[in-house]
Structure 1
């Protein structure tokens, strides 16, 4: 029995749902990167396209790194909260990937 005023945290399935959401986001970023790379490789091979491919690959790897770290953190019995720095990094990678993918496609 717990004392009044003390809360017992029951995470339930919330960490699992969050982990699955990170995996879905990673899959969506991977598909975007692959489609952008495919489009760029079938292009003219100009230095701008090659640079775009390099940037897309680097941003994709950076997002994979952030997502993998978070997915591993969620395996703990009591996972730590997502830091604002990690959240900003993931959002920046997703936005940059979308922008560079659009630049390569257009």
Structure 2
């Protein structure tokens, strides 16, 4: 008979995934800041940068909320609104990169 799955491992891996994704968003923002500062900012560049910053802050708040939920002994499933918000942040991040290229 195989050992039962460790119920604590899955929430921990999910917390790490949220942290990695938040860090990836932060790297995107830093690269966009660098591009606007080094190459001089156009209106599209500043619009993309502001969208990226707002997106990162929203994703940071959503990620922290989910990480806090995963700290419970029996974490609940992710709320549909939180999943939708995280997905919209990814789409907005892609749009900010597109605006930065203009």
Unaligned runs of 5+ in 2: 1-5
Alpha-carbon separation, structure 2, partners of 1:51 and 1:99: 10
Check the 8 A contact 1:59/1:96 in 2, yes or no: yes
Size of the aligned set, in residue pairs, is 97
- Asked if the contact 1:40/1:105 (under 8 Å) is kept, the reply is no
Partner residue, 2:77: 81
Which structure dedicates a bigger proportion of its chain to helix? 2
**Taking structure 2 as the reference length, what is the TM-score of the superposition?**
0.83
Describe the SS at the equivalent of 2:39.
coil
Q: Which of the pair has more CA radius of gyration? A: 1
Deviations 1:69-97 (A, max 9, x none): 10111111011110111001011102211
Q: CA RMSD in A?
A: 1.7
Structure 1 length normalisation: TM-score?
0.80
Q: Which runs of 5+ in 1 are unaligned?
A: 1-9
Shift of 1:36: 1.4
Deviations 1:21-50 (A, max 9, x none): 111111111111111121122233333322
Residues 43, 49 of structure 1: 8 Å contact kept: no
